[in-house]
Amino acid sequence: MNETVRALREMQGSAVERLAGLGSRAARAFPPLGQVGGFLLEVLRKYHRDDCLTYAASISFFLTISLIPLATLFFKLMGWMLGSGAYSFTVQRAISEMYPYLPRGFIADSIQNSRKLGGLGLSWGVLLIGAHWGVNQLDRSLSHIFGLRIKVHRQTRKYPLLRRLAVVVGILVALVTLLAVTVNMALLSRAPSATMRVLHLLPPVFGLVLVTLVLQHLPRRPVQFRHALLGGVVCSLLWWVAKVWFGYYLKHTPTWGILYGSLGSVMAALVFLYYSCAILLLGAEVTAAFYRAAATGAFPVRPSPGRRKA
């Protein structure tokens, strides 16, 4: 993993420099386009300086540890809201659409674990602590991106542990509620085509809601909703592209099965989780750029020399 991250960082640095050259030429020819390109290049430079690919690797590692507790709590809450319908084929299909490339048997194991889980008690606390690990590392990464990890005096949100646990519970409740409402609407329509359309719309909608909630409520300073939404939109669009591209790669690359054999599905899930974390941090960089602009009162893109006022 370290070698892969190092190679990706080198490729990223060279790509940013090439884009900077193209952006400067475009800025001279088309000033408005140059402003947008300058903003995107500044975000990519900050993404590279913050070493976000390494942070994405650490987040994906801790999220892997947190995945089983999160899935168990998710299905337990779904069982409370939908009853036996929480374990139906439609719900499992919706989850597979929301996050593809899960290892075989993962959903079935999570359902079995959730059925073993009793009422509120010590087991819920253990699961919440396990689910908290991934969010804890994400909190540290966002603090680094927002420039708050070293400058502790700028952190205005107190009680980070309670806030992270509240984010875990809040995201689970929000996703369970949205999924329950969506599945019920699809089932009540009694139209298979409508159900399939709903299932295909779930990943971008849920991804947008999830990332917006995380970017607005997890950083250690207040973030405006519109800034978090912009980062969520960027993240959702790039995640959708990554999902399609990675599926095409797995389908047309026979060497994947040769390299990993029976572990192919597990490795696919881990690699795609890393891609997802890297994309999430890029969306966080977009939100942080607008956050810094709002804090300083300056637009995040400097005006081009040709349009600068005297």
Residue 27 lies in a domain: no
Residue 303: its pLDDT value, please?
Answer: 46
Give me the mean pLDDT over the 134-140 stretch.
88
CA atoms within 13 A on the CB side of 264: 11
224 located within any domain:
yes
> Could you give the percent of the chain with pLDDT greater than 90?
12
51 lies in a domain?
no
Residue 100 in domain:
yes
pTM of the model: 0.77
Q: What are phi and psi of 294, to 5 degrees?
A: -70, -35
In sequence order, the 6+-apart residues with CB closer than 8 A to the CB of 241 are none
SS3 of the chain:
CHHHHHHHHHHHHHHHHHHHHHHHHHHHHCHHHHHHHHHHHHHHHHHHHCCHHHHHHHHHHHHHHHHHHHHHHHHHHHHHHHHHHHHCHHHHHHHHHHCCCCCCCHHHHHHHHHHHCCCCCHHHHHHHHHHHHHHHHHHHHHHHHCCCCCCHHHCCCCCHHHHHHHHHHHHHHHHHHHHHHHHHHHHHHCCHHHHHHHHHHHHHHHHHHHHHHHHHHCCCCCCCHHHHHHHHHHHHHHHHHHHHHHHHHHHHCCHHHHHHHHHHHHHHHHHHHHHHHHHHHHHHHHHHHHHHHHHHCCCCCCCCHHHCCC
What confidence tens digit (pLDDT) does each residue in 79-122 have? 777 776 667 776 777 777 677 777 777 888 888 877 777 666 67
State residue 171's pLDDT score: 78
284, part of any domain: yes
Nearest to 202 by CA among 232, 164, 240, 170: 240
Mean pLDDT for all residues in the chain: 76
Pairwise pLDDT comparison (299 vs 224), residue with the higher score: 224
264, amino acid identity: G
* Pairwise CA distance, residues 277 & 254, whole Å: 26
Question: Is residue 163 in some structural domain?
Answer: yes
Classify residue 199: in a domain, yes or no: yes
Measured distance CA(231)–CA(286) in Å, rounded:
5
Domain that holds residue 176: 68-298
* Residue 29 falls inside a structural domain: no
Is residue 284 over pLDDT 90? yes
Cα gap 34→95, rounded to integer Å:
40
Q: How many domains does the chain have?
A: 1
Residue 305 pLDDT level (bands cut at 50, 70, 90): very low
